[in-house]
Chain A
Amino acid sequence: MVNYLIAMLVTVGIYAVLALGLNVTWGMAGIANLGLAGFMAVGAYTTALVTKTFGFSIAAGMCLAVFASAALGILVSVGTLRLRGDYLAIVTLGFAEIVRLIASNETWLTNGTDGIAGISGPWRGQLSPVQFNWVYLGVTAALLAVSLLVCQLLARAPYGRVLRAIRDDETLVSVAGKSTFRFKLQAMAIGAGIMGLGGAMYAHYISYISPDVFRSLISLYIFLALTVGGTGNNYGALFGSLVLIALLEGSRFVFATVPAINAVQLAAAREMLIGLGLLLVLRFAPEGLIPERPKIFTRAATDITPRN
């Protein structure tokens, strides 16, 4: 049981890092990036390839993962950032699908649908599975703390204020003489880099990655985690991830006690509950469970000006 709880805490940590990355792009800068799974995949594959093929250390692999995803974030931005918000959302969703297709089909590079097994984990060989779980919880906590620190500094700095201003009224910022494109580009790079880190953390924990891991389901989960926790708030990203995993995992135990329906119905009921739970939080905690700002400062503008 304890081992399971640790594993789920590690998962919360990885989700939280991904959600922090999303918070930089979507929460702070208002860029509707649904391509999270794609950036996560690039991070995971980068570190898996360099640590397995070229014998890089895990730390070096993770650093490269961050850079590779950030670089890709810039590349994607150049082509898409000028699009309207809702168009951008669909195009980035497509981007993630294309990354998955490449991972599936370019076997020479990614080993195709077989995936990459046996990715190293920190001290994995010397530890028992339970010890490894504890160690990785520590690693996750440390990396999460670093990501959180970066995101908090970003949010508090004048830079973060500019991003939020772009999110709330882009025209105003560009009238004030700032290049909103450059700011958004940087936000995408930072956000994508953090998402890449999340992917790398996943790869070294599970030790196996394959294209199917990076289906858009995971992007959806993280988006919901952030929205539930409180878009724009870094602690919201953390708390939302915890709530999401509690919902995903807790539902198993709830339905264990339901008799008399078949396994498929049980699985369907469980997913229904997850969807409903998220809709309810969206409905009754409009700003998320930890709102970005106290209620009185709530952006009145959002009622009129759609975000994009």
Chain B
Amino acid sequence: MAGLEIVQSLINGVVYGTLLTLPAMGLTIIYAVLRFPSFAVAAHATVGAFAGYVANAVFGMPLLLAFAAGFLVSGLVGVLSDEAALKPLRGRGPLTVAIASIALTIVLENVLRFAFGNELRGYDVPLQRDWMISGIRIGPQQVVNLVVSVVLMLAIFAFFKFTRAGKAMRAVADNPMLASIRGVDPNMVRRFANFFGMALAGLGGMLIALDTSVNPLVGFRIMLPIFAAAIVGGMGSVPGAVVGGLTIGIAEQMSLLVIPPIYRTAVSFGVIMIVLTIRPAGFFGERGN
């Protein structure tokens, strides 16, 4: 019995962790190219949740198309809001831009509130009971989430490694000046990173809204855990975001075996402290200061 309990709690951790990986990947991609931690990922997760809601519940699109809508809209909003609000601040230090991204978060959250109100909303999707496999339960939706996360991670990884655009992005991340000498337009690359990063955040936001509800605060439910995930994995590393997401997810869920659930957030930060003590840049972080 106790053994089953531990395995179940591990599975719950993986399930919860996959929810964190997509936005954490988004955060880390933006960080890799633009070199600042964007708090606006939370707001873009909410944007994605609403875009998917409009596609699915208002226009009656199937879930798959709604995912695409969530992805595209939050990506576009990401590019536009960055151009308007954050781009002029580049070169002012990463923390200043990070603080500005919090102000941007307030603006986006309230644009959504203005347009949709504070009501809780849900997708037009039936709920499924979890499968029971020899005493262990796992949800169909969660398996889909896991597959989507892993496929996207592999795709992104391959993109960075093998395509010209991906290599350009890495070049800009490493040295913008050198990259522009070699004919790469750093601005285009930054836009691309923003689109991709916020689109992933939006997709992640939609997945979270499926398990919770659509409302102007839905993205904030995962803000601290995704930052914890990105840091534990190493900011700027895509595989790191996946490993970090799973680590934080498993740690939070398994901690409930021993400590009261009221301290779940504290567990995330305990994990950060432990990991950073051993590896100051996180699991896959490339460079220190």
In the complex, are there CB atoms of A and B closer than 8 Å? yes
Q: Please report A residues at the B interface, Cβ cutoff 8 Å.
A: 26, 32, 79-80, 82-87, 89-91, 93-95, 97-98, 101, 104-105, 170, 220, 223-224, 227, 231, 264-265, 267-269, 271-272, 274-276, 278-279, 282-283, 286, 302-303, 306-308
The reply to whether A90 and B104 contact each other, CB–CB distance below 8 Å, is no
Q: How far is the CA of A108 from the CA of B9 in the complex (A)?
A: 30
B76 CB within 8 Å of chain A: no
Query: Size class of B's contact patch?
Result: 35 or more
The reply to whether A283 and B37 contact each other, CB–CB distance below 8 Å, is no
The reply to whether B224 and A86 contact each other, CB–CB distance below 8 Å, is no
B210 CB within 8 Å of chain A: no
Known: A83-B276, A90-B227, A268-B110. A307 touches B269 (CB 8 A): no
Q: Mark B249-283, 1 if CB is under 8 A from A, else 0.
A: 00000000000101101101100110010001110
Q: How far is the CA of A234 from the CA of B289 in the complex (A)?
A: 28
The reply to whether A87 and B95 contact each other, CB–CB distance below 8 Å, is no
B118 CB within 8 Å of chain A: yes
Q: Provide the main secondary structure of the chain A interface.
A: helix
The reply to whether A278 and B228 contact each other, CB–CB distance below 8 Å, is no
Specify the chain A residue showing the minimal Cβ separation from B31. Answer: A86
Q: How far is the CA of A195 from the CA of B105 in the complex (A)?
A: 25
Question: Which residues 29-61 of B sit at the A interface, judged by CB distance below 8 A?
Answer: 31, 35-37
Known: A94-B228, A101-B262, A224-B99. A282 touches B89 (CB 8 A): yes
The reply to whether A105 and B235 contact each other, CB–CB distance below 8 Å, is no
Known: A86-B36, A89-B98, A264-B117. A276 touches B266 (CB 8 A): no
The reply to whether A278 and B235 contact each other, CB–CB distance below 8 Å, is no
B3 CB within 8 Å of chain A: no
Write the nearest CB–CB distance from B286 to chain A, whole angstroms.
12
Known: A268-B113, A271-B110, A272-B107. A94 touches B272 (CB 8 A): yes
Residues from chain A with Cβ under 8 Å of B110 in the complex: 268-269, 271-272, 275
- Contact for B281 among A84, A95, A265, CB less than 8 A: A84
Give 8 nearest A-B pairs by CB, closest first: A275-B106, A94-B269, A275-B107, A307-B93, A268-B113, A268-B114, A268-B110, A272-B110
Known: A32-B95, A105-B263, A307-B93. A91 touches B100 (CB 8 A): no
Q: From A105, A224, A282, A302, name the one whose CB has the most chain B CB atoms within 10 angstroms.
A: A282
- Contact for B114 among A82, A83, A105, A265, CB less than 8 A: A265
Write the nearest CB–CB distance from A162 to chain B, whole angstroms.
19
Specify the chain A residue showing the minimal Cβ separation from B177. Answer: A304
B102 CB within 8 Å of chain A: yes
Q: From B94, B104, B118, name the one whose CB has the most chain A CB atoms within 10 angstroms.
A: B94
Q: How far is the CA of A231 from the CA of B92 in the complex (A)?
A: 12
Residues from chain A with Cβ under 8 Å of B85 in the complex: 279, 283
Q: How far is the CA of A274 from the CA of B105 in the complex (A)?
A: 11
B19 CB within 8 Å of chain A: no
B231 CB within 8 Å of chain A: yes
Q: How far is the CA of A12 from the CA of B109 in the complex (A)?
A: 26
The reply to whether A90 and B37 contact each other, CB–CB distance below 8 Å, is yes
B96 CB within 8 Å of chain A: yes
Specify the chain A residue showing the minimal Cβ separation from B113. Answer: A268
The reply to whether A91 and B273 contact each other, CB–CB distance below 8 Å, is yes
B111 CB within 8 Å of chain A: yes
Q: How far is the CA of A276 from the CA of B110 in the complex (A)?
A: 11
Q: How far is the CA of A275 from the CA of B231 in the complex (A)?
A: 27
The reply to whether B111 and A272 contact each other, CB–CB distance below 8 Å, is yes
B126 CB within 8 Å of chain A: no
The reply to whether A94 and B96 contact each other, CB–CB distance below 8 Å, is no
B88 CB within 8 Å of chain A: yes
Q: How far is the CA of A118 from the CA of B127 in the complex (A)?
A: 48
B91 CB within 8 Å of chain A: yes
Please name 19 further chain A to chain B contacts, defined as beta carbons within 8 Å, in addition to the given A90-B227, A93-B227, sorted by A numbering.
A32-B95, A83-B280, A86-B31, A86-B98, A86-B235, A90-B231, A94-B224, A94-B228, A94-B265, A94-B269, A101-B263, A227-B96, A271-B106, A271-B109, A272-B111, A274-B106, A283-B88, A302-B91, A302-B92
The reply to whether A98 and B92 contact each other, CB–CB distance below 8 Å, is no
Write the nearest CB–CB distance from B71 to chain A, whole angstroms.
25
Residues from chain A with Cβ under 8 Å of B36 in the complex: 86
The reply to whether A97 and B265 contact each other, CB–CB distance below 8 Å, is yes
- Contact for A275 among B103, B227, B269, CB less than 8 A: B103
Q: How far is the CA of A282 from the CA of B97 in the complex (A)?
A: 9
Known: A224-B99, A307-B94. A95 touches B104 (CB 8 A): no
Q: How far is the CA of A89 from the CA of B230 in the complex (A)?
A: 13
Write the nearest CB–CB distance from A159 to chain B, whole angstroms.
23
- Contact for A272 among B91, B106, B281, CB less than 8 A: B106
Known: A83-B276, A91-B273, A269-B114. A286 touches B106 (CB 8 A): no
- Contact for A308 among B95, B111, B224, CB less than 8 A: B95
The reply to whether A89 and B95 contact each other, CB–CB distance below 8 Å, is yes
The reply to whether A308 and B104 contact each other, CB–CB distance below 8 Å, is no
B288 CB within 8 Å of chain A: yes
Known: A82-B280, A308-B95. A93 touches B224 (CB 8 A): yes
Specify the chain B residue showing the minimal Cβ separation from A91. Answer: B272
Residues from chain A with Cβ under 8 Å of B269 in the complex: 91, 94-95, 97-98
Q: How far is the CA of A83 from the CA of B85 in the complex (A)?
A: 28
- Contact for B102 among A82, A220, A307, CB less than 8 A: A220
